[in-house]
A and B are shown apart, each in its own frame.
Chain A
Amino acid sequence: MPSLPSLRGPRAPPLPLLLLCLLAPVRRSSEDGRTPAASFTSLPVREEMMAKYSNLSLESHNISLTEHSNMPVEKNITLERPSNIELTCQFMTSGDLNSVNVTWKKGDELLENNYLINATGSILYTQYMFTIVNSEQMGSYSCFFEEKKEQRGTFNFKVPELHEKKKPLITYVGDSVVLMCKCQDCFPLNWTWYRSNGSVQVPVGVPMNNKYVINGKNANETRLKIMQLSEEDQGSYWCHAIFQLGESEEHIELVVLSYWVPLKAFLGIAVEVVLLVAIILLFEMYTQKKKKHSDDGKEFEQIEQLKSDDSNGIENNAPRHRKNESVGQ
């Protein structure tokens, strides 16, 4: 996480550091053989630059290295708008600090000025201050501490990245679809859309017509609406977020299917259902017919039993009536 940019005025370097600044170039020049005049020109240049860009925010980042670090240490920094940058590397060693060779590089290019060196105790600090205003100034800045082994710390400056790769969007012929690109915490200056056939990217939606409509609710999102889809619209689409300091892009895959594709599956299932229902009902009719033939005999028996029960009932009542009548009489 980059440090919060704060709007501070130009900061005069603290007094001890100032003295050391004067000393350090002297020390270095004794090693590299450079004239001390360069150290004096560095200060006014820096102050001038800082006055010019005083309304920009300040980003401070640091990296710690030791003599035993095995791998180069890297720090990724996301930068959206022009800022003043302050990079600090600190190097801890048990050996002699004076024998350490300190350099700064942008990529592979050696940086000449604007960096300070300070030593307290057993820690060696070096600080590089500069400003980033355009995309050429973005990239990787490294500090090198050369003792017996070379130790390296790298600051990677990048524009904010958009979302990770999304799943392909599946649509159908004749539909309309909305492709959306969103940046979580950043606010690009502008958005553009391209589609690619192979490696070439062709802009899309620039003449806004019936087919393409570009709009976005907020500054951090953009939507491309494509209407009347056809199979030719299938392919890769790219949205570019344009910042002052560069561009980042996101890839969306659009797939256009015809209705026949899911319809086949639906009809397949429907046929299976109809077949199963028919089989089940026919099987039931068949077993019922069989049962009816065997049961016909049983039913007749049951009906006859019921009839006999009824007649028995009447017969049973009749003796009672006769009995009572005889008693009554």
Chain B
Amino acid sequence: MPPPAGSPPLHPPPDGGWGWVVVGAAFISIGFSYAFPKAVTVFFKEIQLIFNTTYSEIAWISSTMLAVMYAGGPISSVLVNKYGSRPVVMVGGLLCCLGMVTASFSTSVVELYITMGFICGLGLAFNLQPALTILGKYFYKKRPMASGLAMAGSPVFLSTLAPFNQYLFNTYGWKGSFLILGGLLLNSCVAGSLMRPVGPKLTTKKSKSKVGVRVTDSGMKKRHRKKSICAKIDKYLDFSLFKHRGFLIYLSGNVIMFLGFFAPIIFLAPYAKDKGIDEYSAAFLLSVMAFVDMFARPTVGFIANSKLIRPRIQYFFSFAILFNGVCHLLCPLAEDYTSLVIYAVFFGLGFGSVSSILFESLMDLVGAQRFSSAVGLVTVVECCPVLLGPPLAGKLVDETGQYKYMYVACGAIVVLASVWLLIGNAINYRLLAKEKLKETTKKIHTPESQEAESLKASKSHDVSVKSQKSKGSGVNPSERETNI
């Protein structure tokens, strides 16, 4: 029986010490994963000319990278469940490097899709999931804080990588830049090497799991062999999560939210230019947003960690999403540059707060043990709205000819997602409280019933002795597990 979600994991997380170094490592990994696909768009205009293609064909490179990064989640989860975070992140770094180095030798756009899009995207997937997982292994009490700090890597890396990419291009051209970026991505191997597996208690857990494996293996041999593959996958990737109520609420809410989440950022600069603002000021809006985002994430992480918010973190998450949605709904009221800057500030605040608690709330719902599988499954499902959102928004802009309808639509979608999550989590909290009450009453009753059974069985001689012995041996190990 999987342990209850809200409780701390089996081996006590350090909640400090080396954990803060791991937060730094996760900062680097998450920074590369989220910022790299966006920062690489700096090269696209020039590459388009060199490869003689249209801009949309080139933009697919970024979409492919993002898609593979999200779709590679389950693969990453399986590997993390089996080998732990460290080897997976190091392999991810090597894959990214390989992808970028081969991209620098490519001669056609298709080769760029394969090298940059697929190989590099897979490497980034191997960076993202393990970084999030290891935070859950190192922190429990301070987990929202750690999560917020680690997620701040994304805006920091984006604001440094984008101008750095421009400098690289001006100095080395696109080939040299790709080569050097490949080298830079090797630094995620350094981040991976910092992700020490948690605690010496890992050895005792291994022995227990080995015993469990042997027992199940012998069981498999007796049953059908066809089911063994499915069972093996299930061992590494917890598909039973799809029956988990909290997980389903989170998944459905997030799918709705991501449809309208990224489009406002992508269209912010074109919207500003459409209002008559010049190119550099429009780009500055994005910088303002990234800057506010950078500080919002750790701050919101800190707030989420407080005694008042932590037990109700799902409500806080829903509120942050609602804030985002309202921001987008009010955006069309912004007419001049100052009001757009104010919108960018609030948007950065909203975006940062949602991103900060995005994975923390999932950890809160499913628990740290199942988080690895959960995040893989969530990202592969979220792949669709993340990729479909911006093109759909673009189509809406093309059809209506105005950006404000797109902003209103995105705001409405995000508000809907927040309301859905709010109601869903309110019900979930109540049902969880009821279940907890049932469990505590059950625990009080079971020792009494066991004693009653042993008394009844004691009437006959040998049979009673045997049965008591079997019951005795059966009761004690399971009691020990729940006590631990």
Q: What mask results when residues 258 to 269 of chain A are scored 1 for a CB within 8 Å of chain B, else 0?
A: 000111011111
Instruction: Report the minimum CB–CB distance from A273 to chain B (whole Å).
Output: 4
Main secondary structure of the interface of B (DSSP, over half): helix
| Segment at the A interface, from B179-187, B217-225, B233-241, B339-347 | B179-187
Given contacts A280-B193, A324-B454, A324-B464, contact A257 B172 (CB under 8 A): yes
| Partner among A262, A277, A284, A317 whose Cβ is within 8 Å of the Cβ of B179 | A262
Q: Are A266 and B458 in contact (CB under 8 A)?
A: no
Q: Are B180 and A321 in contact (CB under 8 A)?
A: no
| Segment at the B interface, from A6-14, A50-58, A92-100, A166-174 | A166-174
The number of chain A residues touching the other chain, given as a range, is 35 or more
B478: Cβ under 8 A from any A Cβ: no
Q: Are B171 and A170 in contact (CB under 8 A)?
A: yes
Q: Are B176 and A262 in contact (CB under 8 A)?
A: yes
B230: Cβ under 8 A from any A Cβ: no
Instruction: Report the minimum CB–CB distance from B292 to chain A (whole Å).
Output: 31
Chain B residue contacts of A266, Cβ below 8 A: 101, 179-180, 182-183
Instruction: Report the minimum CB–CB distance from A147 to chain B (whole Å).
Output: 42
Q: What mask results when residues 295 to 329 of chain A are scored 1 for a CB within 8 Å of chain B, else 0?
A: 10000000000000000010001001100110110
A24: Cβ under 8 A from any B Cβ: no
Chain B residue contacts of A325, Cβ below 8 A: 458, 461, 465
Q: Are B461 and A281 in contact (CB under 8 A)?
A: no
B interface residues, tally (CB under 8 Å): 38
Closest to A309 in B: B480
Given contacts A280-B194, A317-B472, contact A265 B183 (CB under 8 A): yes
Which B183-201 residues have C-beta < 8 A from chain A?
183-184, 186-187, 189-190, 193-194, 196, 200
Closest to A328 in B: B458
Which B157-209 residues have C-beta < 8 A from chain A?
169-173, 175-177, 179-180, 182-184, 186-187, 189-190, 193-194, 196, 200
| Partner among B169, B176, B194 whose Cβ is within 8 Å of the Cβ of A261 | B176
Closest to A266 in B: B183
B226: Cβ under 8 A from any A Cβ: no
Instruction: Report the minimum CB–CB distance from B460 to chain A (whole Å).
Output: 8
| Partner among B177, B184, B469 whose Cβ is within 8 Å of the Cβ of A269 | B184
Q: Are B49 and A178 in contact (CB under 8 A)?
A: yes
| Partner among A261, A273, A321 whose Cβ is within 8 Å of the Cβ of B189 | A273
| Partner among B101, B189, B454 whose Cβ is within 8 Å of the Cβ of A320 | B454
Chain A residue contacts of B173, Cβ below 8 A: 169-172, 255, 257
Q: What mask results when residues 361 to 398 of chain B are scored 1 for a CB within 8 Å of chain A, else 0?
A: 00000000000000000000000000000000000000
Q: List 9 A-B contacts (CB under 8 A).
A: A169-B173, A172-B173, A178-B49, A262-B177, A269-B187, A280-B194, A313-B476, A321-B469, A328-B459
A: which residues have CB within 8 A of B?
167, 169-172, 175, 177-178, 180, 255, 257, 261-263, 265-270, 273, 276-277, 280-281, 284, 291, 295, 313, 317, 320-321, 324-325, 327-328
Closest 7 CB pairs of A and B: A262-B176, A170-B173, A269-B183, A324-B458, A266-B183, A273-B186, A280-B193
